[in-house]
Structure formats: C-alpha cells, structure tokens
Amino acid sequence: MSTKIALISDSHGYIDDAILKNLMEVDEIWHAGDIGDEEVMKRMPKGKKVRAVFGNIDDQKTAQKYPEWEAFELEQVKVAMTHIGGKPPRYSKGIKAKLKELRPNLFICGHSHICKVEFDPALNCLYMNPGAIGRQGFHQIRTMLLFELDSGEVKNLRVVELGKRGK
C-alpha cells in the first residue's frame, strides 16, 4: 500500500483552484514553509493529513503552530523537512550536520523557489524542493511535486506546473 504525497512550498499567502485540485488526489500534503497566511492552511482539503514547517516570512503565530523541522517515517522512508536547506552539496549553515544526525532517506526544503530533485550520494539521501506555488518571488513558473512513498521507495514522482507566477 503506497501513500500519495503532494509537496508544496512558498505559498506566500496564495492558493488557487489548480493547486487545490491536485491536493484532492493525495493522502498527505506537505508544506515546506513560507505559508504566508493561515487561510492557505484552512483551505487544505478536509480529511488529508497535513504536515508543515514555518518559513522565514511566516509570523510568530505561524511559527508557534508549525515547527522549524519535521522528522518522521512513512512507508519505511525517513523524512526530514525544513524551510531553508540549501541544496546538495552546498547546504545552508548547520543543515549537513542536522542531516547526518537525522539520517533521512528524503530531505525536503523550500525557500529557493527553484524546483529541484537530486540524489546526494554523500548523505545517501534524496533531496527535494518543490519550487513555489505562490505568486511572490523571482520564479517564473509556479510548481509543486506529486509522488508516492511505497515500501521504502519514492515512486511516480512528477512536477506539476501551475502556470506563470503573475499577479
């Protein structure tokens, strides 16, 4: 039995019907920070497990509701998620040490607004950044990731393009 995941980040207070339609198709929704407005989280489809971390634009109230790090195991995959993580092999300050401590199979972050998936052989870990679903930032196309976790593996990974950033 696999678990379907939608990975989003950097909503900056924005969510639309195209995003919500994709979120309806999954079992869990993971938000890698910069939520921007609690209304985004209130619009998540009912009955879905939602995991989220706060980001650097989030206010104190959001930071109290969501942790800086999520570390959990699902479908035999150890996951670590934070907002500012950098990317392989140049992680943000302190991230590599934290990953060596947590030893995840899957490391997730946001912040860069750049959709990127890469295996880091030095940490034996898959890195994922879903890009940004919001309209604020320097990215051109809004993106998210959909995938499944099944028996210790990431399967059926796909990038969903949500259209131009625009205003």
Per-residue model confidence (pLDDT) at position 165? 84
Distance separating alpha carbons of residues 157 and 39, to the nearest angstrom: 28
DSSP category for residue 55: -
For 18-75, write each residue's pLDDT tens digit: 999 999 999 999 999 999 999 999 999 999 999 999 999 999 999 999 999 999 999 9
Element (H, E) at 2: none
Which residues have a Cβ under 8 Å from the Cβ of 72 and sit 6 or more positions away? 51, 78, 79
- Map out the domains of the chain with their CATH numbers: 3-164 (3.60.21.10)
CB-CB neighbours of 162 under 10 Å: 19
Q: Quick check: 136 and 55 in contact, CB under 8 A?
A: no
Q: Which residue has the higher pLDDT, 167 or 99?
A: 99
pLDDT tier for residue 1 given thresholds of 50, 70 and 90: confident
The two structure tokens encoding residue 36 = 């921007």
Strands 28-31 and 49-52, by their bridges, are parallel
Looking from the CA of 153 toward its CB, the CA atoms found within 13 Å total 6
